[in-house]
Amino acid sequence: MGNLQLKSIRKAYGTHEVLKGIDLDVKDGEFVIFVGPSGCGKSTLLRTIAGLEDITSGAIVIDGQDVSITPPAKRGIAMVFQSYALYPHLTVRDNMGLGLKQAGSPKAIIDERVKAASGMLSLDPYLERRPAELSGGQRQRVAIGRAIVREPKLFLFDEPLSNLDAALRVQTRLEIAALHRRLKATMVYVTHDQVEAMTLADKIVVLNAGQIEQVGSPMELYNKPANLFVAGFIGSPQMNFIEGARLGLTEANTIGIRPEHLALSRTEGDWRGIITHVEHLGADTIVYLDTEKAGLITVRLFGEHGFKPDETVFATPDRSRLHRFSPEGKALAETA
């Protein structure tokens, strides 16, 4: 089992409060991802769960047991960091087995678990090598293997893929997804990468300045962001925000529309504007335009398009995809 409950977690360094009352329930087997701007407290929260940092107040409960002051080694948790932190003088096999060896497990058990993890992570050909003889991706897999052999109730990952190049990130991301399906273990994962968050998570937790802004499935956060912060944070390119008054809409202070929910035409449409910049990504074309009614907006078109800077065009929002926000930045219920 691997249920985790965070109850009003607060953490201060001196007078600087970094976590300002975090409440969260993570169910057994769930894949939960923390996202948020740099410095919002993601790593600190993960480290308090692991027991690497004390909490100032609140409670951390794992499978019904309060572990708030339990030492890290006794929490049944394994943590994987961005820096792999492998022992350079030990082989892959010994790096993976070290935790169990230190805990006094019999050699037969260590061998068996290392073999199973190595098979899962395609590390068999490298078991006798040392970390210096591996690529970054292979090292990260060893670090994940070292976590797996301990058979923890809870896996914690702090930006495990951010040292890898783009291709390796995708590959390792798919491996982590497969691993989660296979182990059915509870995973709590911190990332800056939107795609990782959207593709891996059962549940995303959006943090901002030490507080939770919203918790939901990737599609809930995409389709129904609770406030301006989440609306602007989830989705790339970012959602367009337009003052309601500018559009003659009085029911909302701010209107949001995602770049992919705008159509572009050379002949007709709602918002006339001039193209300032075009990005051709192959699969997508991103068009930036300056409109009279809605100001500067971004439009994302599927496929290749011949739009050029200085052209006059018309953008039209998909009305069913408009987001409405109050003056306080809270999402308003659909009115259309």
Closest approach of Cβ 325 to ligand ATP, in Å?
A: 25
CA nearest neighbour of 177 among 193, 158, 194, 198: 198
Closest approach of Cβ 98 to ligand ATP, in Å?
A: 26
**Interface pick for ligand ATP out of 3, 33, 42, 51 (rule CB under 6 A):** 42
Residue nearest to Mg ion (CB): 43
Kindly identify the residues of this chain, within the stretch 1-40, that bind ligand ATP according to CB under 6 A.
13, 18, 36, 38-40
Q: What strands lie across the sheet with 271-280, from one edge to the other?
A: 262-265, 312-317, 271-280, 284-291, 295-302
Report which DSSP code applies to 124.
G
Q: Which two tokens stand for residue 301?
A: 């078109």
Other beta carbons less than 10 A from residue 323's beta carbon: 22
Binding range to Mg ion, per CB under 5 A, among 39-47, 66-74, 81-89, 97-105: 39-47
Does position 44 interact with Mg ion (CB under 5 A)? The reply is no
Q: How far apart are CA 301 and CA 281, in angstroms?
A: 10
Closest approach of Cβ 163 to ligand ATP, in Å?
A: 13
**Interface pick for Mg ion out of 6, 24, 30, 43 (rule CB under 5 A):** 43
Closest approach of Cβ 23 to ligand ATP, in Å?
A: 18
Binding range to ligand ATP, per CB under 6 A, among 42-50, 71-79, 168-176, 279-287: 42-50
> Tokens 């129904």 — which residue?
224
Residue type, 146: R
Closest approach of Cβ 12 to ligand ATP, in Å?
A: 9
Element (H, E) at 45: helix 42-50
As a dihedral over the C-alpha atoms of residue 46, residue 47, residue 48, residue 51, rounded to 10 degrees, the angle is 130
Q: Which residues bind Mg ion (CB under 5 A)?
A: 43
**Which residues in this chain contact ligand ATP in the complex, by CB under 6 A?**
13, 18, 36, 38-44
